[in-house]
Chains A and B, each alone.
Chain A
Amino acid sequence: MKTAPLLPMIAAQTRAEFLKLWRLPAFSVTSIALPAVFYLFIGLQQGRYSSVNIHTYILASLAAYAAVNVSLFSFGISVAVERGERMDALMRATPLRPIAYLIGKVATAIAFAFVALIALYVVAYILGRVLLPIDQYANLTARLLIGMIPFIAMGFSVGYLFGPRAALPVINLIYLPMAFASGIFFPVQVLPDFIQKIAPYLPMYHYGRLAWNAVGVSEDNLFQSVLWLAGYLVLFTALTTWAAQREERRRFS
């Protein structure tokens, strides 16, 4: 009794996941167009922030916003929908390997985030004449695509904890305030005091620091931010595992 080869399974799974989301305008349009629209609203202010141009600073902020957007929405919504439609039951009855399923979803989220980042870079260039040195683009993109993994885990836990109807509002409730309090729309320094106190505990604040630093903003103790993100990855992975086991007991035991 042999089993199917893993690599073609992963490739097919990734392709199918990508097509599924690409054809869902509610997802593809919001994840690609929304950051660009936000750029239009807040990215065109004049002036400098820290050592960099505000245009550039906001580009890095919205790039972080775009990547987290994809992480939370692609995972949170698609996992919840699959559970709601009992698609997961059918997949469980096949010899699909869980690792292929997982890699397919993660790779899709990263690929989508990549598309969203490129779209944002293009919009920022056309509207704000922001053109970064190539190594800054590369650094920013690499940091964001790797650093989004804790947020993928966060989306995954929401997808497992909530039903298909609740997942979207829950993510919106979490995401917009978190992005705001993390200094994504306005720098943390100009936000109210109590938010400045909360920010250093939010994963997105640390993610933002990685992004701002990549475009030339000096950030102290960047390694601490990496540790914070790693900690959040552990936390959300544990939460997802717990939620998945709860699901297992309820529906598949």
Chain B
Amino acid sequence: MPGSTANSPVSTPSADDQPFVELVDAHKSYGSVQALKGVSLTVNPGELVAMLGPNGAGKTTAISLMTGLRKPTSGSARLFGLAPTDIRARGRMGVMLQESGVPLSLRVREIVDLFRTYYPRPLPTARVLEIASISDLGGKLISQLSGGQKQRVYFALAVCGDPDMLFLDEPTVGLDVASRRAFWEQVRTLVGGGKGIVLTTHYLEEADALATRVVVVDHGVKVAEGSPAAIKDRVPGKKVSFTTAGPLKDADFRDLAIQNLSIHDSSVELLTNEPEAVLKALFERGTEIHDLEVVGAGLEDAVLSLTEGRG
């Protein structure tokens, strides 16, 4: 696109007043299964919204509504103020789906060149390959690529039209640590250029590294929304587990900064942000502790703590 400078690798979206994406009270049922139960989400230019949640939370369904691959059972989805299926809206979005195929007998450069013709203002092929870190793979057949390399091809196809809005469904699955970091770097550049991005992930770390806003989804509803820092504050970072000589009662943990306490006979599990203080207090109360383990809390634990008491 004319007007791109050497410093801004991709074009800056035109300044619209309206949000790029608006999902309003979206419900989605597949037969008797309710995948989404009233989710609202707005994405503005320059925002990266990370949708965080366990498998089956409804993240992919939310993406498919925003991209027009599925229609909401009730509620609405708008993309650039248009129906997401509108060809003009699709010309400004890019998408990376989970488990979507590409023609195995095409070369990387051929499929990128093909997808570029779908868009009104595509990026140069060399630039696309560079963004996706596959400049050296252009001549390879897709069938010769590893899973991680294919994942990068999908990213290339998502960005080749220089979209204003990107939807990335689990984009770093199958990437090794180094590729994941490189990918994050590219995504940060895109957001810096004023694009909007929705990204789904299992990894709290990934949401934390990239997002301007985090939306936690579970069982088809939004259970929390806020800046990564705000979400992390609400999520206990450590899981503490141990066994005790004698049975403990809830009362033994009174006044401690803990969540999700579970006691089964002599084994105890809890979440906390201050494992040292909690353990110190327990020792001072004379609790006898064996088999102590302190690990980083996983996403499942985090979502559990956010959903606790929600009914």
CB of A119 to closest CB in B, whole Å = 21
**Chain B, Cβ-Cβ closest to A8:** B117
Taking a contact as CB atoms under 8 Å apart, the answer to whether A86 and B100 are in contact is: yes
A-side contacts of B136, CB under 8 Å? none
21 contacts between A and B (CB under 8 A): A1-B89, A2-B88, A4-B91, A4-B119, A12-B117, A13-B114, A13-B117, A20-B105, A85-B100, A87-B103, A89-B69, A90-B95, A90-B102, A92-B69, A93-B97, A94-B95, A94-B118, A94-B119, A95-B90, A95-B118, A252-B70
**Bound CA span A179–B142, Å:** 36
Taking a contact as CB atoms under 8 Å apart, the answer to whether B88 and A16 are in contact is: no
Q: Which residues does B use to contact A, with CB under 8 Å?
A: 67-71, 80, 87-93, 95, 97, 99-103, 105-106, 110-111, 113-115, 117-122, 141, 154, 157, 161
State which of A20, A24, A95, A252 has its C-beta within 8 Å of the C-beta of B119: A95
Given contacts A90-B97, A92-B69, contact A1 B88 (CB under 8 A): yes
A-side contacts of B122, CB under 8 Å? 4
Taking a contact as CB atoms under 8 Å apart, the answer to whether B110 and A3 are in contact is: no
**Bound CA span A95–B67, Å:** 11
Taking a contact as CB atoms under 8 Å apart, the answer to whether A93 and B67 are in contact is: yes
Q: How many A-B residue pairs have C-beta atoms within 8 angstroms? Tell me.
A: 95
Taking a contact as CB atoms under 8 Å apart, the answer to whether A24 and B117 are in contact is: no
State which of A23, A82, A85, A95 has its C-beta within 8 Å of the C-beta of B91: A95
Given contacts A4-B120, A8-B117, A19-B106, contact A82 B101 (CB under 8 A): yes
**Bound CA span A85–B100, Å:** 6
**Chain A, Cβ-Cβ closest to B167:** A93
The B contact surface, by secondary structure, is loop
**Bound CA span A62–B91, Å:** 45
**Bound CA span A97–B117, Å:** 11
A-side contacts of B91, CB under 8 Å? 1-4, 95
Nearest 3 pairs between A and B by C-beta? Answer: A85-B101, A23-B105, A1-B88
CB of B166 to closest CB in A, whole Å = 11
B-side contacts of A15, CB under 8 Å? 114
**Bound CA span A253–B61, Å:** 11
Encoded as 1 (CB less than 8 Å from any B CB) or 0, chain A from 183 to 221 comes to 000000000000000000000000000000000000000
Additional pairs, 16, CB under 8 Å, beyond known A12-B113, A85-B102, A93-B67:
A4-B91, A4-B122, A12-B117, A15-B114, A19-B106, A24-B105, A85-B101, A86-B97, A86-B101, A89-B69, A90-B100, A93-B95, A94-B95, A94-B118, A95-B88, A95-B118
Most B-side CB within 10 Å, residue of A16, A82, A84, A94:
A94
Interface check A54, CB cutoff 8 A: no
B-side contacts of A8, CB under 8 Å? 117
**Bound CA span A47–B197, Å:** 72
**Bound CA span A248–B27, Å:** 19
A-side contacts of B90, CB under 8 Å? 93-95
B-side contacts of A239, CB under 8 Å? none
A-side contacts of B69, CB under 8 Å? 89, 92-93, 252
**Chain A, Cβ-Cβ closest to B113:** A12
